[in-house]
Structure 1
Amino acid sequence: MISAPSAALVYRWTDHTINPPGEARSILRRVLKELGLSDDVISDGVLAVSELVANAHEHACGPYEVHLRSVAGRYICEIHDGKPLLPTGLYLAAVASPEATASEAVSGLLTERGWGLHIVNELTQGQWGFQVTDWGTKAAWVVLAEASAARKPEAARRDGRAEEARRSDVLTKQSS
């Protein structure tokens, strides 16, 4: 189970927020740059997270939050919403064979809309999903990058503990 307090709060929005995906992209891009992630990792991660933010805003209820944490050498971004039910049937159309009939494809939720989850799957190489939180609500999650990939060349020469402390400081700043 996911427990949000162990993660840094990056962004919070409500049902009345005008453009949550755009705001989340902007804020997350800045945070990931501060962590030293590569431009490719940032671009892929920001796009994947913005798709999940859009889905939460459209299909769930608030409160909504985006959290970022580093666990076991990986950066994981979580998109929390107030809906307690995990989605079902989300990827049926995505795994349908190219030879599937139209009626078979229509049976999935990813027919005319919902291509964002295909994008999320591709960008994260399948490292994403949904879980129930400790509070009985839902969180979508994506693995953004290996934390070791965040090291810039000058940081790689520093003591490993100092670099970990720096990353921890960046995440802590986002929580306050």
Structure 2
Amino acid sequence: MISAPAAALGLVYRWTDHTINPTGEARAALRRALADLGLSGDTISDSVLAVSELVANAHEHAHGPYEVHLRSAAGRYICEIYDRDPALPADLYLTIATSRDTTTARAGAGSETLSEPLLERGRGLLVVHELAKGQWGFRVTRHGTKAAWVVLATVGSAS
């Protein structure tokens, strides 16, 4: 197993409501951190895409300041995106999490299983769900705010 460099774990990126390009900056910072961990190019690309969707959602729908953290727990690398909004997007998350066939839903067939808001918006969370193989979600922090989380890779999955 490869041990994670301490510099790659912890706070990866911080931004506010006034930051011009938080999604692009978060992608670049996360890409560097994941490369420092020795993850493969495909794992980095998939992880950056999934996290950028969560960063964009936080920036659009929540209150800042915001932070992206990377940690290792239970043999997995987990990325968490913190905002200051306590509201969890439960309806949208539950719709995606309970969908049995996201591939069919993304293709347009079987879309009757998706809620109307998801048909209009929120397809990015389907991408997150697919890339994370369902290992993602939201939680309330001990401070009463919210964190989106996503499992990026197994520790030791470097190429």
TM-score normalised by structure 2 residue count = 0.82
Runs of 5+ unmatched residues, structure 1: 1-6, 153-176
Matched, 1:149 2:151: no
2:91 is matched with 89
Matched, 1:134 2:136: no
Work out whether residues 96 and 129 of structure 2, in 8 Å CA contact, stay in contact via their aligned partners in 1. Answer: no
Runs of 5+ unmatched residues, structure 2: 1-8
Work out whether residues 11 and 24 of structure 1, in 8 Å CA contact, stay in contact via their aligned partners in 2. Answer: yes
Relative to structure 1, the CA distance from residue 48 to residue 145 in structure 2 (aligned partners, 3 Å threshold; closer, same or farther) is same
Work out whether residues 93 and 111 of structure 1, in 8 Å CA contact, stay in contact via their aligned partners in 2. Answer: no
Deviation of residue 86 (structure 1)? Answer: 1.0
Deviation of residue 89 (structure 1)? Answer: 1.2
TM-score normalised by structure 1 residue count = 0.75
RMSD: 1.9
Pairing partner for 1:46 from 40, 45, 48: 48
What letter matches 1:118 in structure 2?
A: L
Q: Which has the larger radius of gyration?
A: 1
Deviation of residue 148 (structure 1)? Answer: 1.5
Deviation of residue 52 (structure 1)? Answer: 0.1
CA distance in 2, matches of 1:120, 1:136: 24
1:80 is matched with 82
Relative to structure 1, the CA distance from residue 38 to residue 138 in structure 2 (aligned partners, 3 Å threshold; closer, same or farther) is same
Name the count of aligned residue pairs.
Answer: 142
Work out whether residues 93 and 108 of structure 1, in 8 Å CA contact, stay in contact via their aligned partners in 2. Answer: no
2:121 is matched with 113
CA distance in 2, matches of 1:66, 1:136: 17
Deviation of residue 147 (structure 1)? Answer: 0.7
Deviations 1:30-52 (A, max 9, x none): 11001100011100000000000
2:6 is matched with none
Relative to structure 1, the CA distance from residue 114 to residue 100 in structure 2 (aligned partners, 3 Å threshold; closer, same or farther) is closer
Deviation of residue 99 (structure 1)? Answer: 4.4
Deviations 1:100-156 (A, max 9, x none): 55xx75x44211221100100011111000001111100000000001113x5xxxx
CA distance in 1, matches of 2:154, 2:38: 12
What letter matches 1:139 in structure 2?
A: A
Pairing partner for 2:39 from 37, 54, 57: 37
CA distance in 2, matches of 1:148, 1:99: 37
CA distance in 1, matches of 2:125, 2:71: 22
Pairing partner for 2:27 from 25, 28, 47: 25
CA distance in 1, matches of 2:128, 2:140: 19
Work out whether residues 96 and 126 of structure 2, in 8 Å CA contact, stay in contact via their aligned partners in 1. Answer: no
